[in-house]
Amino acid sequence: MTTAQVGSRPSWMDNPARLITGGIFGVIGLALFIYILPEIIDGGVQLFLQRLFDGLDNGAVYAVVAVALVLIFKATTLINFAQGELAMFGTFIAYLLAVTPEDSALSYTLGWAEFSAGFLPLGLMAAIAVAMAISAAMGAAIERMLIRPFDPTDHLPVVLITLGLFLILNSVAGYLWNFNPRAFPSVFPTDSDAFVGIGGARLRYSVIGTWAVLGAMGLTLWFILSKTKIGLAFRAVSSNTESSRLVGVRVGRTLMFGWALAAAFGTLGGAMVAPKLFIQPNMMATLLIFSFAAATIGGLDSLQGAVVGGIAIGLIQSLLVGYLGDRDTAFNVLSLAVAFVVILIVLWFKPSGLFGTSRVERV
């Protein structure tokens, strides 16, 4: 069994071992479906629709963070393990800018100076925008100082650097702002009657709003990547770094731009999810795993794949784990396991995911 073939890749059906493992996974999936089928029928249409909407709700957030992961992967073929913590940090900045002291009773000392939350009386939207700008600067600085010195084909140093960042950001946030969860205001109406009723199920405005934000983000990305010069450079670098360097693209700056963009979008995702999860330093820990799964389904280098993957993971989580949990409450703890199994299956059978480019290794 050699590791690299030149030219053709073995097709799905040629390999009996993969066929057998695929069959095993398929049988398990079918058995699971039959197992939960009574619950789906019992629950009725309304519950099903509600689960669907919940899935879309989570899926939008996974998609936003997955897009940020994919941006970095496309540019540098790296996985940024600190992505979630960067987003958390950005969300905290938005929180500090937006929430007035009366709301939060939050004051903290930063060295010699005493700040209190909301020291800039900005509206929530403006606060999120400023936080995104600050995160972008942080992302760019991280790329320039910590990532660029290393050879991207040597994975271990980069894994260590981003894990180190993960630890630092998490504990610094915990030190500054402690680990108590705090309520984060939502951009969208959160009243109890802020929903559209479809078949008895509630599609909340916040879900629609999150999807609108995701759509706007997609449009912005499309505009930047296909209509601007730096976007062109970004696509060139992600397609072939060496050749773009030779034709005069400033690779370093372009990668910095990619990191900045990713950090900004991560913060946006954090601000979208914070009203639901509350804001605290560990808020992104499990979300990041789901977003990894989303990015993996879509193919780690495909932006639209990240969105599709986000929806898929959101739906799998809310439907499968939801109905399994109805069947037996013991299964309620299995949410993360689903993400792990999804990552495993996708990487095993189709590492390029649904939309990613498959790589052919040359000897």
Partner 1 sequence: MNSGPMFTFQQGSSSHRGFVIGSWVLFAIGAVLLPYVLWEVFGLFQVGRLNRALYFAVAILGVNLVVGYSGLIALGHSAFVGIGAFLTIWLINDFGWDYWMTIPVAIAIGFLVGVLLGVPALRIKGLYLALLTIAFAAVFPSLMKLDKFGIADATGGANGRNIDEILVAPSWAQSLLGIDDTAEQQEIYQYFVILILTVLAFWATRNLLRSRPGRAIIAIRDNETGAAVSGVNLPLYKTLTFGVSAALGALAGVMWVMNIGFAGEQDFGFAPLAVPLLVGLVIGGVATIEGAVVGAFVVVFVREYTKSFGLDILSESLFGLILIAVTFFAPGGVVGFAKQMKGRIMRTIPRPPEGAVVGRAASPEPPAEEVVPEPAV
Give the nearest distance from C-beta 142 to partner 1 in angstroms.
11
Stretch binding partner 1 (CB under 8 A), from 42-50, 129-137, 259-267, 344-352: 344-352
Rounded-to-10 torsion of CA 324, 330, 336, 339 = -30
Residue 6 makes contact with partner 1 by CB under 8 A: no
Smallest gap from Cβ 227 to partner 1, in A, equals 31
Contacts of 175 by beta carbon, 8 Å cutoff, 6+ apart: none
As measured in angstroms, the least distance from the Cβ of 309 to partner 1 is 13
Which window, 37-45, 95-103, 286-294, 301-309, contacts partner 1 (CB under 8 A)?
286-294
- Choose between 40 and 289: whose C-beta lies nearer to partner 1: 289
Q: Which residue has the tokens 């995701």?
A: 214
Report if residue 296 touches partner 1, rule: CB under 8 A: yes
**Which long-range CB contacts under 8 A does 217-221 form with residues at least 24 apart?**
217/64, 217/67, 217/265, 217/268, 218/67, 218/303, 218/304, 218/307, 221/67, 221/261, 221/303
Kindly tell me which residue out of 44, 155, 228, 252 binds partner 1, with binding defined by CB under 8 A. Answer: 155
Residue among 159, 212, 219, 360 that touches partner 1 (CB under 8 A): 159
Determine if 13 is a binding residue for partner 1 (CB under 8 A): no
> What size, in residues, is the chain?
363
Give the range of 180-188, 208-216, 253-261, 326-334 binding partner 1 by CB under 8 A. 326-334
Cβ nearer to partner 1, comparing 98 with 289? 289
Stretch that binds partner 1, among 161-169, 246-254, 258-266, 268-276 (CB under 8 A): 161-169
Among 177, 257, 259, 292, binds partner 1 (CB under 8 A): 292
HSE-up of residue 91 (Cα within 13 Å, Cβ side): 36
CA atoms of 49 and 329, how far apart (whole Å): 21
User: Among the candidate windows 30-38, 113-121, 197-205, 343-351, which touches partner 1 by CB under 8 A?
Assistant: 343-351
Shortest distance, position 31 Cβ to partner 1, whole Å: 15
| Cα 280-283-284 angle, rounded to 5 deg | 140
Query: Which of the residues 166 through 185 are near partner 1 (CB under 8 A)?
Result: 166-168, 170-172, 174-175
Within 52-81, which residues bind partner 1 (CB under 8 A)?
A: 77-79, 81
Q: Which two tokens stand for residue 272?
A: 């979208």
CB nearer to partner 1: pick between 278 and 340: 340
Instruction: Give the integer Cα–Cα distance in Å for 363 and 361.
Output: 7
- Asked if 27 interacts with partner 1 (CB under 8 A), we say no
Of 80 and 210, the one with the shorter C-beta distance to partner 1 is 80
Element (H, E) at 43: helix 16-76
- Does residue number 1 form part of the binding site for partner 1 (CB under 8 A)? yes
Q: State the DSSP code for 15.
A: -
165 binds partner 1 (CB under 8 A): yes
285 binds partner 1 (CB under 8 A): yes
In the Cβ-directed half-sphere of 330, how many Cα atoms lie within 13 Å? 1
C-alpha 76/C-alpha 155 separation (Å) is: 11
Nearest to 277 by CA among 169, 157, 184: 184
**Spatial CA neighbour of 92 closest among 118, 65, 59, 57:** 118
Nearer to partner 1, 286 or 304 (CB): 286
User: Given the complex with partner 1, which of 99 and 295 has the nearer CB atom?
Assistant: 295
Q: At a CB cut-off of 8 Å and minimum separation 6, what does 197 contact?
A: 203
Residues 6+ apart with CB under 8 A from 80: 69, 72, 86, 162, 259, 262
Residues that bind partner 1 (CB under 8 A): 1-4, 77-79, 81, 146, 149-150, 155-157, 159-161, 163-168, 170-172, 174-175, 285-286, 289, 292-293, 296, 300, 328-331, 333-337, 339-340, 343-344, 347-348, 351, 363
